[in-house]
């Protein structure tokens, strides 16, 4: 079978036309996708902002919940090595138990609690954050900041779990486990 030269040329032209059309369609599709991406991206950033606000609200509520919960145990006894919020706890047993009962796991001793979480400055201190104190350069006490310049902690066998001004001793470190 003999194929004429005109037929071959016609097929080539049709093929070239289809290729160019495909490129144009592809290019238009890409432009449509690009503008859709921008729209999706703007929409996503708005919902990201909404998620951040919702997360901040949850953290604020958790902080309030931690403080309310801790205050229930004011006046209860101090017991060295204790972790019972009702029968007696030492400072780090108190903070560990309060945080545990609010879904946050922290270490057992004040020294190891000070190594976790996020270190914060005094200006960033918020209710529910931990404040650490030292004697002879070593962390030996921890309390929970409750706001308005006050802290709740299990201080001693004489005072038990009490609320005091947070600068009753010089704070050496402040940590947030809530974020």
pLDDT 10s digits, 78-111: 999 999 999 999 999 999 999 999 999 999 999 9
pLDDT for 46 equals 57
pLDDT at 22 over 70: no
pLDDT at 13 over 90: no
pLDDT at 65 over 50: yes
Phi/psi for 153 (5° steps) reads -155, 160
pLDDT for 102 equals 97
* Rounded (5°) CA angle 163-165-169: 110
Task: Express as a percent the part of the chain with pLDDT over 90.
Answer: 68
pLDDT at 69 over 60: yes
d(CA 87, CA 80): 11
Dump strand ranges (E) for the chain: 83-84, 88-89, 118-119, 130-135, 138-147, 150-156, 160-165, 171-176
Closest of 122, 126, 110 to residue 171, by C-alpha: 122
Across the range 105-118, mean pLDDT stands at 98
pLDDT at 120 over 60: yes
Q: Show Cβ contacts of residue 109 under 8 Å, excluding neighbours closer than 6 positions.
A: 92
Residue 11: band (very low, low, confident or very high) from pLDDT cuts 50, 70, 90: very low
HSE at residue 51, side-chain half, CA atoms within 13 A, is: 6
Helix (H, G, I), strand (E, B) or coil at 60: helix
Average pLDDT, rounded, for the chain: 82
pLDDT at 26 over 90: no
pLDDT for 149 equals 98
Domain architecture of the chain: domains with CATH: 67-176 (3.90.1720.10)
Q: In this structure, are residues 149 and 129 in contact, taking their beta carbons and an 8 Å threshold?
A: no
d(CA 42, CA 62): 30
């Amino acid at each position: 079978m003999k194929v004429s030269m005109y037929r071959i040329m016609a097929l080539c032209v049709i093929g070239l036309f289809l290729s160019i059309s495909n490129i144009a369609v592809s290019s238009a599709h890409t432009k449509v996708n690009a503008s859709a991406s921008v729209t999706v991206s703007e929409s996503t950033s708005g919902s990201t902002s909404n998620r951040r606000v919702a997360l901040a609200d949850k953290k604020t509520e958790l902080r309030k919940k931690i403080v309310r919960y801790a205050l229930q145990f004011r006046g209860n006894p101090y017991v060295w090595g204790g972790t019972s919020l009702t029968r007696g706890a030492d400072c780090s047993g108190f903070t560990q138990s309060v945080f545990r009962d609010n879904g946050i796991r922290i270490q057992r001793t004040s020294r190891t609690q000070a190594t976790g979480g996020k270190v914060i400055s005094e200006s960033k201190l918020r209710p529910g954050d931990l404040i650490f104190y030292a004697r002879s350069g070593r962390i030996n006490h921890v309390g929970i900041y409750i706001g308005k310049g006050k802290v709740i902690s299990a201080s001693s066998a004489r005072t038990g779990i009490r609320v005091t001004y947070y600068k009753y001793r010089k704070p050496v470190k402040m940590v947030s486990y809530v974020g």
